[in-house]
Every structure is written in C-alpha cells, then in structure tokens.
Amino acid sequence: MDIPRIFTISESEHRIHNPFTPEKYATLGRVLRMTPGARILDLGSGSGEMLCTWARDHAITGIGIDMSPLFTEQAIRRAEELGVSEHVHFEHNDAAGYVAADKCDIAACIGATWIGGGVAGTLELLEQSLKPGGMLLIGEPYWRQVPATQDIAKACGATSLADFLTLPELVSSFATLGYDVVEMVLADQEGWDRYEAAKWLTLRRWLTASPDDDFAPEVRAELTIAPERHVSFTREYFGWGVFALMRR
C-alpha cells in the first residue's frame, strides 16, 4: 500500500508536505491553546512534523496515520530525534474509514481531505474519533484568485474550477456544515515556494542518481515543467489554510 511514486520521490526531503512552514505550524500550535496531555489524531500525517513538534512544544500526545511507508518511517525517526517517541505513534495505513479506539481532543486532516471523499466526508470521519466538545482541524486549498477559464483551472492542477472554493466560500461552507470556525492560520506565497520549489532540487538529484530508472522519463518531464507551472499558476491562484472547527 503506497501513494504514487512521484510524491515519494519529489517530497522525500520534505518535513512538511503542504505550503505550511515550520513557523506556521508553530503559530497554529500556539493559537489552539492545547493543554498538556491533549490527544490528537492526524489522518494523512505525512512525515509527522505537526505531531512531533507539538509533542515537544505543547506536551500533546498523538496518533498519525499515513499511507506512505516512507513518510511514516520518516515520522518515526523525527519523533526519535525530538525525543517524543513515547508520546506520538505513527502507523502506516489507509486512513479512509479510520476511527481511533480512544476518542481525541483534536482530530485533524491537514491537506488530505480526499481521504474522506472531500471536506464534508472528512469532517464526518474525524467526528467519529472526537470527544464531545472537541476540535477539528482541516487543511485545505482555496482559490486565492479565481481562474478566468477552466483551462487555467486545469493548468493549476485542478480537474475543474469546481474542485475548490474561494476563501469566503470555504469559510461559509463550514458554517453550512454546522461548525463554528474558531481559529484559522493561512499559508502564504513564501510557503508555496517552500513546498513546491523544494521539490525541484530533490527531483534533479534523483535524476542524477538514477538516470536508468524506468521512472526517470516521468521525473524528467515533471522537473521540466514544474518551475514554470508553479510561478504561472500554483503560486498565483492557490491559497491554503488550516481551519479549526467546533460543532455548533
């Protein structure tokens, strides 16, 4: 069980697999006013940076589920490095349908809402692991600028304009689903650069090391188009944020 190989190559050196920087995760950890011992479930936990740094800085405990064996292994190593292995647990698994055995204070899905078939389905899934009165965290892209045409939306990597909402639409969609938005931290273009531009050197080094790999043509094609696609589309059109929600 694994995610598509292009991600485990291009993001093999990433600690954070989304446009959040370490500073943004630190801000989010601070503003949520978590109490020591708070229990967090993270679906699509990637390389575990959120849970590991929050365990170090806020004494939370956590469970992270991720479908990438590589990222899960990196998360376990990061927990060891930060001395929090006894407080955070990472599991290689499909998070679709995952419900925690013990209910959590915070249930999160940061940049992987396809796990529940979209935002609404992911909120329903996370709710099943949440204590009454608990908080949900959703990390999700939105249109910072709405593309003028479907072709531009596709060039951004969306299947259509309808894949994403604007920020006001996204915030009001949480209300429609029955939630108060109780906090929010938004990524910025610098964060997008850290996420996207950090892939290019990794791709280039992989190509140099593996010129005869069957996958090399795909990696070459990606590196050839990625920088222009980023500056023309992703960086201009996409916003991204983490929203903290509590049921009304």
- Binding residues (CB under 6 A) for ligand SAH: these are 3, 16-18, 44-46, 49-50, 65-68, 71, 94-96, 110-112, 115
Closest CA to 153 of 84, 81, 234, 82: 234
Structure token pair of residue 137: 């965290």
Tell me how many degrees the CA angle 51-80-94 measures, rounded to the nearest 5. Answer: 50
Closest CB to ligand SAH among residues 49, 140: 49
Residue nearest to ligand SAH (CB): 46
Query: What CA–CA distance (Å, rounded) separates 127 from 159?
Result: 28
Closest CB to ligand SAH among residues 24, 144: 24
Pairing of strands 130-143, 179-186: unpaired
Closest CB to ligand SAH among residues 96, 177: 96
Closest separation in Å from C-beta 155 to ligand SAH: 21
Closest separation in Å from C-beta 49 to ligand SAH: 6
56 with 29: CB under 8 angstroms? no
Name residue 129's amino acid: S
Closest separation in Å from C-beta 150 to ligand SAH: 25
Closest CB to ligand SAH among residues 1, 162: 1
What lies within 8 Å, CB to CB, of 55 at 6+ separation is 61, 62, 79, 82, 84, 87, 88
Helix/strand/coil percentages in the chain, nearest 5: 45, 25, 30
Element spanning 198, H or E: helix 189-209
What lies within 8 Å, CB to CB, of 36 at 6+ separation is 58, 59, 60
Closest CB to ligand SAH among residues 61, 68: 68
Closest separation in Å from C-beta 151 to ligand SAH: 26
Closest separation in Å from C-beta 106 to ligand SAH: 13
Closest separation in Å from C-beta 95 to ligand SAH: 4
Closest CB to ligand SAH among residues 159, 176: 159
Paired with 244 in beta bridges are 137, 183
